[in-house]
Structure 1
Amino acid sequence: MPRDESICVLGIGNVLWADEGFGVRCVEALQRRYEFAPHVGLIDGGTQGLYLIQHVQQATRLLIFDAIDYGLPAGTLKLIEDDEVPRFMGAKKMSLHQTGFQEVLMLAQLTERYPQRVLLVGCQPEELDDYGGSLRPAVKLAMEDALALGIDALRRWGAMPRPRRHPLPGPDAVTFQQLDLDRYEAGRPAEDAACRHGDERFLPAPARQPA
């Protein structure tokens, strides 16, 4: 392995908008289940857009997990590789974060600091317009196959994935502990009680009236 080899595993999306959180949830699960070689970094890219440029430019190999509108049945996975990734994300964007990340990839190409290999593991979402919601069953089920595809690529790239021997310390997690998938779903109100325009956990408290 070359001394400057660097592998970046990036999950992008917004966990507060149902299936939009697919990419971040995949990276979260990988970190919880596996340990990797020192030159592998796992990142919750959220919706940071251009702020992710340094991670892309520094990587020799880039693995991306994201919810992508392929126009296919919900939960369908599709792989896009190398130079096709930025062009595909531009043509198939479904949210603002993808527009921003397409620009990141194109900027990396323009600066000639584009990873040698790029693999996008994309999942067709079912529901996006549900603030405070979580992954729909079809998309959550697809995570296991997505993780298997990711681990297979990482193994070929020399990331040396191995099952985690000790539980991941909370402060080391890529996502905030409050947004951990199990904790997040446990705090979700029942569907018949949840507000379709938002979730009380993330809405500002009403202002107090003067006495």
Structure 2
Amino acid sequence: MADPIPSTDGDAGAGPGPRVLILGIGNILWADEGFGVRAVEEFHRRYQVPGGVTVLDGGTQGLYLVNFLQECDRLLVFDAIDYGLEPGTLKVIRDDEVPKFTGAKKMSLHQTGFQEVLSAADLLGAAPQAQVLIGCQPLDLEDWGGPLTAPARAALEPALAAALGVLAEWGVTVTPRAADETPTALLDAAIDFAAYERRPLPGL
């Protein structure tokens, strides 16, 4: 997978507000494991962020993300998390609780990797001052090449609403994009939501 390419709509150095990283992690090749990536992709498609805010598809990059964490004061993460709840259920976890959930009930390599990212940033004295995890309970993590399941897809809208609430708490105001605006894609065209998640199923 290619190195993550962040999106910053505004001047990254502008404004007195906190430096914020909005991050989606996961593996789109394993059905609901791609929830975090699809959530951050949809956030970027809908909203323009002010200076000092970065939107990033972290995929399964693991420790490569440490540099991005070092450059932010506040971290907002979308991910698929096994809480042992009804599929599609969202939970918002904050601050010291975040590492516990990104490492609990390991479902894939990226989660252990991200827990290590948080630990590495902390050891470097550069951990974000505030951390929020918006996690979705997955239904299916074993459908290789499959799209998000219906419960995970339905959770995208409330996940974005939760993100807007968190950003508002942090004093960050985002702007809805114009209907005819086409932002720079976070993912390659072959694997973005429109091309991959909405593709016809085989035989249909």
Moved more, 109-118 or 42-51: 109-118
Matching residue of 2:21: 8
The answer to whether the Cα contact below 8 Å between 2:17 and 2:171 also exists between their aligned partners in 1 is: no
* Aligned positions, number: 190
- Residues 1:152 and 2:165 are matched in the alignment: yes
The answer to whether the Cα contact below 8 Å between 2:148 and 2:197 also exists between their aligned partners in 1 is: no
Q: What are structure 2's unaligned runs of at least 5 residues? A: 1-13
- Residues 1:54 and 2:77 are matched in the alignment: no
Partner secondary structure for residue 177 of structure 1: coil
Which of residues 174, 181, 184 in structure 2 aligns to 1:167? 181
Amino acid aligned to 2:193: L
Matching residue of 2:154: 141
Amino acid aligned to 1:49: G
Matching residue of 2:117: 104
Matching residue of 1:198: none
After superposing on structure 2, the runs of 4+ consecutive aligned residues of structure 1 that deviate more than 6 Å are none
Matching residue of 2:10: none
The answer to whether the Cα contact below 8 Å between 1:9 and 1:27 also exists between their aligned partners in 2 is: yes
Q: After superposition, what is the alpha-carbon deviation per residue over 1:126-156, rounded to whole angstroms, capped at 9, x for unaligned?
A: 0011111111001100111011000111122
Matching residue of 2:199: 187
TM superposition shift of 1:159: 2.4
- Could you tell me how far apart the structure 1 residues matched to 2:80 and 2:191 are? 18
Q: After superposition, what is the alpha-carbon deviation per residue over 1:8-64, rounded to whole angstroms, capped at 9, x for unaligned?
A: 000000111100000000110011101110111100000000000011111101000
Q: Name the one with the larger helix percent.
A: 1
Q: What are structure 1's unaligned runs of at least 5 residues? A: 195-211
Identity of aligned residues (%): 52
TM-score, with length taken from structure 1: 0.85
Partner secondary structure for residue 83 of structure 1: helix
- Could you tell me how far apart the structure 2 residues matched to 1:184 and 1:91 are? 29
User: Within 5 Å, which residues of 2 pair with 1:75-90?
Assistant: 75-90=88-103
Partner secondary structure for residue 187 of structure 2: coil
**Structure exhibiting the larger radius of gyration computed from Cα positions:** 1
